[in-house]
Structure 1
Amino acid sequence: MASPKDILVSLFFAFGLPLVSALAFPGAVGFGSIATGGTTPFVVTSLADSGTGTFRDAVSVSGRNITFAVSGYINLASPVSLSSSITINGQTAPSPGIGVMGREVSASSKTNIIIRNFRMRQGNLDTDTGKSAFNMGDASNVILDHCSVAYGVFDSIDAVGAVNVTVSNSIVALPIGQQFGAHLETGPATWYRNLWVSAHNRQPLTKANTQYINNIVYNYQAAYTVANTGGDFSHDIINNYFIAGPSTTSAGDDYFQIDANQQAFASGNLLDSNKDGVLNGAAANTIGSAVVLSSPWNPTSQGLATLSAADAYTSVIASVGASPRDQVDAFVISTVQSLGKTGAIITNQASTGLANNGYGTL
C-alpha cells in the first residue's frame, strides 16, 4: 500500500501540487504559496531613492525579511531589482502605508519572493515604455498578496517565463501605455480574489495552466485572455464576476481569444453587461471554443472557491488591495461601485484628477 508521502509525490507529478512544509504566510494560497521569502531582519528607515536604510538598499541582498519604519511614497529614479529570497512586509509601515512610484520593480529571474501590502504605481514618470509596474519574468515561487498595482506602462504585471505564481487579494488597475493588466507565461499560476479595473486587455493574458477564482473584472474591453497562439493549457475559472463599464465595447469579450487548444472548467461565473448601476449578472460559463472539462484540472481549485461570484464582489470590494486604502485605491473602488456608470481606460494617471499628478498622496 502506498504511503502518504508516495501519494503526495504522485499528486505533485499528476497535478502540479506544490509540496511544502509551510506556507509563505498564514492564509497564502495557490502555486506561489510555496515561496519561502527571507528571514534576516532589515528595517527600511528612509523614503530616499537610494542609500543606507532605503528600500533599494533593503532588496539588494538575498535572504532579507523587510519591514518599514516609514510611510509614504518612495519616488524611484530608476528601476529597482529585487534579490532572491526576499519578504517585503508592507503591512508593517505606519499609516497610511508604503509604496513606490515612477519606475519598475523587478523580480526578473529571481526566486522565493513574498510581497504583501505594497503599492506599485509606475505611471508616466517612467519614460521607458518597455517597463512594467512589476516584472517577474523568468522568476519562480512568487506571491503578491494585498498589493495595489496601478498605472503600468508596458504591463501592470509582466510574468513571461514565470513558474509557481500567486497574485491574491490585489488591485490591478488603470494601466496606461499598452493599457494591459497582466501577461503570464509558463506557470502554473493562481489568480485569486483580485480586482481588475479599466484595462484594454490581459486581465490576465495567461499562457499557462491557471486557477482563476473569485476575481472581479470591471470596465474591460477584453478580460480573461489566452490568445489563439498560446499553446495548450488548462484553466479553472470559478465564481468570477465580469462587469461591463463605459469603456466596454463588447461585453461578450469577457473571455477573449480562447480556442480549441485550451481546456476549461468553468462554473459559477457571472456577467453583468447592462451598465445600469445594479449588480445583476447572468451566468457566463462558455469559454470561447475551449474543450469543456467536467471537473477542475487542479484538485485544489474547488476548495479555493468558497465564495459565490456575488459574495466575491462584496468581499473583494471590502478588503482588496493594500491597507489602509489610499486615494488611488479609493478612486478605483468608487469607480467599480458605480456598476457601469463611471470608469475610463486612460493614457495618463493625471487624468484621474487625483492629487500629486494623479498618484495621490501617501
Structure 2
Amino acid sequence: MIKTPAFLSALLLVVPVAAADLPASAPAPSQATAFPGAVGWGAKTSGGRGGRIIRVTSLAASGPGTLRAALEARGPRIVVFEVAGVIDLGRSSLEITEPYLTIAGQTAPSPGITIIKGGIDLKTHDVIVRHIRVRTGADGQAKRSGWEADSFSTIGAYNVIVDHCTFTWGVDENMSASGPRFTGNTPDEWRRGASHDITFSYNLAAEGLADSSHPKGEHSKGSLVHDNAANILFYRNVWAHNVERSPLLKGGVHAALVNNLIYDPGKRAVHYNLMALEWAGHAYQDGRLSAVGNVMRGGPSTDEGLPFLMLGGDGDLRYYGRDNIAVDRHGRPLPMFGRYGETRARLIEEKAPPPGGLPVGLDMLAARDVETHVLARAGARPWDRDADDLRVLFFVAEGRGAIIDDEKDVSAYPVVKPVHAPFVEQDWDLASMEPKNGVYPGASGPVQEVLSDRDRAIRR
C-alpha cells in the first residue's frame, strides 16, 4: 500500500451555494465542503453527512444489500461498499429520488465498482457521487432499436457534486445535467425547475456510441446541459471520442468550463444552441458561458478546421473566454469560434465573467498544464484504474483512438471475480469519506499502462 498521491490532495475551497429549505430530516447546514478539494456550485452539498451507513454487500441488480436498495432508502445516508466487481443492470437504470446521499465508491475494495448495461438518473438534491464507473454499452441491441440510456444524468437535480467518476459507452449522453425547460412562469422559476448548482469534477466521459441502438441514429454525445440549467460547473474533466456535446449548452444555460481536456471531438466540441422549435411561446434568454484554461485537441475522428466553440440556433450567448487552447492532431491552431446555423444568434464576447459566471475562489491552472494534470487524475479511482480507463487515457496521451459504434469495437464488458472486504468505520473520516491514513483500498503503486506478456518481458 502507498500513501495517497499528492495529486489527490487538491486545495480546500469554501464556495458559497444558495441555501434550500431543508426538511426536519436534513443534515444540519455546514460551512464545510463536501470533501477536501470539492469546488464549484455543488461543493457545499452535505450529501449524506451525519446519516446512517448503508453497506453494499451484493453485486446483484436489485434486492437486499444491493446498490439499488441503498439508493432507494430514505433519509440521510452514506453508501459504502464491502464488495467490489461488476453490477449488471440488464438494460435498466438506477434512479436516485431520495435526497441527502453520499455514494462513496472509494470505499470499495479493489478493483472498485463498475456498473454495466445501464446508467444512473439522479432526480433529487444534496447528493455526492464519487469513484464509480458506468459502462452503459449497446449490449448487443440492434441499431436504432430504442435502447438509449444515459451513463449518468441529473434530472431537475440541485446541490450535487459528481467527482472522479468514469462514464463511457453511453447510448444517449455520457454525463449530463437535464430537466424540464419551463417549470413555472418566469425565467428564475425555469432555472429552479431545471438542474442547478451542479459540479462535475475530474470525471472521464468517453466513447459515446455513435451508430448504435439510439432511435435517432447517430448519438455519440459527451454532455448535454439542458435549457435553463444554471450554475453548472465542469472542472478538470476529460471528454474523449464523442461526435459532439463536449459539452452542448442549450438555451438560457448558465455554465462554466474550467481546465477541461477535450480530445478527438468529431463534429463539434463545445457548442451552444437555443432552438426556436423548442422555445415557441417563451421569451428567449441569453446563455452565459465562462471558459477558462481549457484544451481542445483534435484526433483521428475530428473534422478538419473544427472550432473550439460553435453557435447554433436563435438565442444569444454571453461568452467570457481566457487562456483556452484549440489545436488539431498535428498541433496546428484551430479557430476558437464557428457556427452551424445562419440565424440571428449572436456571440457576445465579455471582457470579464458575467455576474456569478465563475464560482468564487476557484483554483485555475494555466492551459499548458491542464493535459498532464487531468490525465493523471481524472476518472474513477486514479490510484486503482481498470484496463479500459487506462486504454482511453493512454490513447489520449498518444493521440490515438477513435469514435466507436459499439463497445465491442474496442473492448468488452468487464468480467471481474467479486472481492469482499469489510468497511471499518474507524478507518474513515465519516464527514469527508476520506481514509484517515491517506491510503485508499487498492492503492499499490504508480499507475501503469496495461502491457502484453511480451511487452512486460521486454521492459524488465
Q: Structure 1 residue 328: deviation in Å?
A: 1.2
**Which residue does 2:224 correspond to in 1?**
183
- Could you report, residue by residue, the CA deviation over 1:31-67 in whole angstroms, capped at 9, with x for unpaired residues? 1113221121111111122221111111111321011
Decide whether the 8 Å contact of 2:308 with 2:337 is kept in 1.
no
Describe the SS at the equivalent of 1:331.
Answer: helix
Verify: 1:254 aligned to 2:308, yes or no. yes
Q: Structure 1 residue 142: deviation in Å?
A: 1.5
Verify: 1:121 aligned to 2:135, yes or no. yes
Decide whether the 8 Å contact of 2:248 with 2:271 is kept in 1.
yes
- Could you report, residue by residue, the CA deviation over 1:289-311 in whole angstroms, capped at 9, with x for unpaired residues? 51111111236458425211121
Verify: 1:51 aligned to 2:105, yes or no. no
Verify: 1:103 aligned to 2:118, yes or no. yes
1:122 & 1:216 partners in 2: Cα distance?
A: 22
**Which residue does 1:192 correspond to in 2?**
235
2:357 & 2:286 partners in 1: Cα distance?
A: 19
TM-score by length of 2: 0.69
2:336 & 2:293 partners in 1: Cα distance?
A: 10
Aligned equivalent of 1:67, options 80, 92, 96: 80
1:313 & 1:302 partners in 2: Cα distance?
A: 24
Decide whether the 8 Å contact of 2:17 with 2:44 is kept in 1.
no
2:85 & 2:369 partners in 1: Cα distance?
A: 32
Q: Structure 1 residue 90: deviation in Å?
A: 0.3
Counterpart residue identity of residue 201, structure 1: E
Q: Structure 1 residue 226: deviation in Å?
A: 1.0
Decide whether the 8 Å contact of 1:35 with 1:114 is kept in 2.
yes
Decide whether the 8 Å contact of 1:239 with 1:305 is kept in 2.
no
**Which residue does 1:133 correspond to in 2?**
151
Decide whether the 8 Å contact of 1:103 with 1:125 is kept in 2.
no
Decide whether the 8 Å contact of 2:256 with 2:358 is kept in 1.
no
**Which residue does 2:27 correspond to in 1?**
none
**Which residue does 1:112 correspond to in 2?**
126
Aligned equivalent of 1:337, options 389, 397, 400: 397
Verify: 1:292 aligned to 2:349, yes or no. yes
Verify: 1:28 aligned to 2:43, yes or no. no
Distance 1:224 1:48, change over 3 A: same
**Which residue does 2:3 correspond to in 1?**
none
Structure having greater relative contact order (Cα 8 Å, sep ≥ 6): 2
- Could you report, residue by residue, the CA deviation over 1:243-294 in whole angstroms, capped at 9, with x for unpaired residues? 0001001343321225771111100000121x23xxx465865576511111
1:42 & 1:132 partners in 2: Cα distance?
A: 26
2:135 & 2:150 partners in 1: Cα distance?
A: 10
Decide whether the 8 Å contact of 1:214 with 1:305 is kept in 2.
no
1:53 & 1:265 partners in 2: Cα distance?
A: 47
Counterpart residue identity of residue 307, structure 1: L
Describe the SS at the equivalent of 2:114.
Answer: strand
TM-score by length of 1: 0.87
1:187 & 1:299 partners in 2: Cα distance?
A: 10
Decide whether the 8 Å contact of 2:175 with 2:222 is kept in 1.
yes
Aligned pairs for 1:149-188 (under 5 A) are 149-161=167-179, 162-176=195-209, 177=212, 178-185=219-226, 186-188=229-231
Distance 1:267 1:315, change over 3 A: same
**Which residue does 1:223 correspond to in 2?**
269
Aligned equivalent of 2:164, options 137, 140, 146: 146
Describe the SS at the equivalent of 2:306.
Answer: helix
Aligned equivalent of 1:263, options 318, 326, 341: 318
Q: Which moved more, 1:84-93 or 1:285-294?
A: 285-294
Verify: 1:272 aligned to 2:327, yes or no. yes
**Which residue does 1:8 correspond to in 2?**
none
- Could you report, residue by residue, the CA deviation over 1:331-354 in whole angstroms, capped at 9, with x for unpaired residues? 110110123xx22111101101x3
Decide whether the 8 Å contact of 1:350 with 1:359 is kept in 2.
no
- Could you report, residue by residue, the CA deviation over 1:65-124 in whole angstroms, capped at 9, with x for unpaired residues? 01111111111132211232211000011111112111121112x111110011111111
Percent identity between the aligned chains? 30
Distance 1:250 1:60, change over 3 A: same
Distance 1:301 1:209, change over 3 A: same
Aligned residue pairs total 338
1:112 & 1:305 partners in 2: Cα distance?
A: 23
Decide whether the 8 Å contact of 1:327 with 1:360 is kept in 2.
no
Counterpart residue identity of residue 169, structure 1: Y
Counterpart residue identity of residue 90, structure 1: G
Distance 1:263 1:360, change over 3 A: farther
Q: Structure 1 residue 18: deviation in Å?
A: 3.7
Aligned pairs for 1:345-360 (under 5 A) are 345-352=403-410, 354=411, 357-359=412-414
- Could you report, residue by residue, the CA deviation over 1:161-192 in whole angstroms, capped at 9, with x for unpaired residues? 31111110000000114100111121220000
Describe the SS at the equivalent of 1:333.
Answer: helix
1:304 & 1:281 partners in 2: Cα distance?
A: 30
1:248 & 1:74 partners in 2: Cα distance?
A: 33
